[in-house]
Amino acid sequence: MHGVWSSRWTFILAATGSAVGLGNIWKFPYITGENGGGAFVLVYLVCIALVGIPIMMAEVLIGRRARMSPINAMKYAADEAALPHAWAAIGWMGVLAGLMIISFYSVVAGWAIQYIFTAASGTFTGITGESAGGVFANFLQSKGTLLLWHSLFMVMTLGVVAAGVTRGLGAVARVLMPVLFVMLALLLVYAVIKGNFSAGFAFLFDFKFDKLTWSGVLKALGHAFFTLSLGMGAIMAYGAYMPAQGSLAKTVITVGVLDTVVALVAGLAIFPIVFAAPGLEPSAGPGLMFISLPVAFGGMPFGVLFGALFFVLVTIAAWSSAVSLIEPGVAWLIESGKFSRATATSLLSGVAWLGGVACIYSNNWLEDKPGGVFSFVFESLDFLTSQVMLPLGGLLIALFVGWFMRRAIVQSELDAEEHPLFDIWLFVVRWLSPLLVIIVLIAGLVEKFQ
């Protein structure tokens, strides 16, 4: 037994902590920028509503039903449905995806930690775009520094996961999430007052479709999975610690809405700041947060303070997500009966740490692609996980719950014996989300590789 969240709210905060991360604050703004803004945001929102949230309910449902790690939860649920244990492949793929994600996630979180200090030291005051690009490029060349922050971040992650569900994951979420919301609100106020709010707003919500391609749609779909921590078992593992009472549907919808609000607020804070500085491009790519934003902060009153604050916020958000990337594997190792939580966590953190080292040392960051910060290993890990493995995992979860779990079980887990929305949800999970995922996966991959 791994423990139970102390209340329904702890689950909400922990799941939101997992969902809200680099995906919302770093990735969402830059992929939106790269894909032309408004139309991409609209597709992303549709994916959240029609695919993400319904599948999230399915994933949490399996976890809460079985009360085990995703690998064993899938075995349990397969037994209940008289299906082969091969369904546990969903859990296995998830553990692998988690390790692949954390490999680059922790490195980027390390960038954010460094930038707390760089921003606080006043380096960015009055800086030009070119020099900010130089600062970032130099930083990416100092592998030792990258390694140091990546290692520190992994130790922070290990510490929380090793402390367990109640004293670690739950306690941290209850403290960090409110802090994060307050900081984000402050930043939004700052952007509204000091930034070019109307330009930022228009960029996010002007739904023009001419720039949208199938591979852009696949990115939006993949991001919906990534940002909700879906399709790899993180949210299933958290569901396993959910108290039995309390509405699963409402809880999950709350998490989905909070995550979406944070992404939109992050966009509404970041783009007005970027547009306020002359010559900055919203389409700057992964460097958006590390080049454009510092320039913008550097030209604004109290920029040193708010710049540093911003990177503290990013670090916190990344931290509460990273813990959920290894929890599925840790829970499984503990269940095998051979490992204590501390040993299990150390083992997987070690693997994740090596993954990060591979990311750091295999990359000639800026040489591979002029202006880019991703090179092959980094980009492949990101692409394979968010645009292939997570949608695939989500698809299988939807099919499993929609078609194979006994209807009575699903209904009782959802407390929905009589609920009129139940049939709609079931239709979505059986037909709509799987079809959307299949179409977008195929069309997106074909377009990308042709």
* Best CA proximity match to 91, nearest among 222, 232, 235: 232
Shortest Cβ 336–ligand PHE spacing (Å): 22
Task: Give me the helix-helix angle, 143-162 and 129-141, nearest 10°.
Answer: 70
> Residue 118 or residue 321: which is nearer to ligand PHE going by CB?
321
The tokens for 351 are 């693997």
* Neighbouring residues of 327: CB distance < 8 A, sequence distance ≥ 6: 161, 169, 234, 237, 238
- Alpha helices, DSSP H, located in 143-210: 143-162, 171-194, 197-205
Residues 360-379 that bind ligand PHE (CB under 6 A): none
Q: Which single residue brings its beta carbon nearest to ligand PHE? A: 23
Residues 123-142 that bind ligand PHE (CB under 6 A): none
Distance CA(371)–CA(353), nearest Å, equals 27
Residue number with CB closer to ligand PHE (127 or 262): 262
For 268, residues 6+ apart whose C-beta sits below 8 A from its C-beta are: 188, 191, 197, 200, 201, 204
Measured from the CB atom, is 48 or 277 closer to ligand PHE?
A: 48
Q: How far is the CB of 35 from ligand PHE (least distance, A)?
A: 17
- Which residues, numbered 179-198, are part of the site for ligand PHE (CB under 6 A)? none
Closer to ligand PHE by CB, 14 or 280: give it.
14
| For ligand PHE, the closer CB: 107 or 276 | 107
Shortest Å, Cβ 391 to ligand PHE: 12
**What are the DSSP calls for 197-234, one per residue?**
HHHHHHHHH----TT--HHHHHHHHHHHHHHTT-SSSH
Residue with smaller CB distance to ligand PHE, 52 or 287: 52
Least distance between ligand PHE and beta carbon 140 (Å): 21
Residue 302 Cβ vs ligand PHE, minimum distance, rounded to whole Å: 27
In the bound complex, what is the minimum distance in angstroms from residue 235's beta carbon to ligand PHE?
8
CB 282 within 8 A of CB 289: no
To ligand PHE, the closest distance from the beta carbon of 323 in angstroms equals 9
Q: Which is nearer to ligand PHE, 296 or 390 (CB)?
A: 390
**3-state DSSP percent of the chain in helix, strand and coil, to 5:** 80, 0, 20
Which residues, 219 to 278, sit near ligand PHE by CB under 6 A? 226-227, 229, 232, 234
Cβ distance to ligand PHE smaller for residue 71 or 135: 71
How far apart are CB 23 and ligand PHE at their closest, in Å?
A: 2
Residue type, 224: A
H/E run at residue 100: helix 89-120
Of 444, 446, 415, the residue nearest 47 (C-alpha): 444
Cβ neighbours, 10 Å, residue 167: 12
Which residues inside 320-359 make contact with ligand PHE, applying CB under 6 A? 321, 324-325
Residues in region 70-109 near ligand PHE by CB under 6 A: 101
Nearer to ligand PHE, 324 or 349 (CB): 324
Question: Phi and psi (nearest 5°) for 164?
Answer: 100, 180
Q: How far is the CB of 80 from ligand PHE (least distance, A)?
A: 25
| Three-state secondary structure call for residue 244 | coil
Calculate helix-pair angle for 303-335, 143-162, nearest 10 degrees: 50
Nearest-approach distance from CB 254 to ligand PHE, in angstroms = 16
* Contact map string, positions 306 to 325, toward ligand PHE, x by CB under 6 A: ---------------x--xx
Number of residues that bind ligand PHE (CB under 6 A): 15
* Cβ neighbours of 278 (radius 10 Å): 8
- Closer to ligand PHE by CB, 227 or 315: give it: 227
Site string for ligand PHE, 13-52 (x = CB under 6 A): -----xx-xxxx----------------------------
Reading the block at residue 371, the tokens are: 């202006």
Alpha carbon 22 to its chain's center: 6
Residues binding ligand PHE (CB under 6 A): 18-19, 21-24, 101, 226-227, 229, 232, 234, 321, 324-325
